[in-house]
Amino acid sequence: MDAVEIKDLPGLVGQEVGVSDWVLIDQDRVNKFAEATGDHQWIHVDVERATKEMGGTIAHGYLTLSLIPFLSAGMLPVKGVTRGLNYGSDKVRFINMVKVGKRVRMRQTLIGAEPKAGGMQMKNQCTIEIEGEDKPACIAETITVVYGS
């Protein structure tokens, strides 16, 4: 999508603003997330046990959610933005497990845009899809406020 002015964001509400490239979820990424968060549950990090009991390890749900900023980079370029702040998330749902070795991508739709605190508050529906799966891994509504010069 071409860069837009902050003032033009409300006119894009309801539109899909982008689809990311596929990203591999490998065991190294899962292990690093476990180290960063202290979440060492065996379903994520014990490859031998998880393979035996459930066919392999799975990514943390919050790892999947944490990929949203990375996956959305460049999807909706806004001219003149000096800073953007994460304001929160609504309706986060983990619908399907991401098995290690699978690839994910994100589809983003702008579902709201309104002035707030001298900037523009944007609400996006972020759907993280799993390659080869019918059900997505995660659907979340993220809220960001962008400010311009």
- What confidence category does residue 66 fall into, taking pLDDT thresholds of 50, 70 and 90? very high
Q: List CB contacts of 85: < 8 A, sequence separation 6 or more.
A: 144, 145, 146, 147
How much is the mean pLDDT over the chain? Answer: 96
Which phi and psi (to 5°) does residue 18 adopt? 170, 165
Distance CA 86, CA 91 (A): 15
The pLDDT assigned to 41 comes to: 97
pLDDT at 1 over 80: no
The pLDDT assigned to 86 comes to: 93
**DSSP-assigned letter for residue 22:** P
**DSSP-assigned letter for residue 137:** S
pLDDT at 21 over 90: yes
Within 10 angstroms of residue 47's Cβ, the number of other Cβ atoms is 15
Domains and CATH numbers, the chain: 4-24+60-148 (3.10.129.10)
pLDDT at 134 over 90: yes
Q: What is the mean pLDDT of residues 77-85?
A: 92
- What confidence category does residue 20 fall into, taking pLDDT thresholds of 50, 70 and 90? very high
Distance CA 50, CA 139 (A): 25
Q: List CB contacts of 127: < 8 A, sequence separation 6 or more.
A: 106, 107, 108, 109, 136, 138, 139
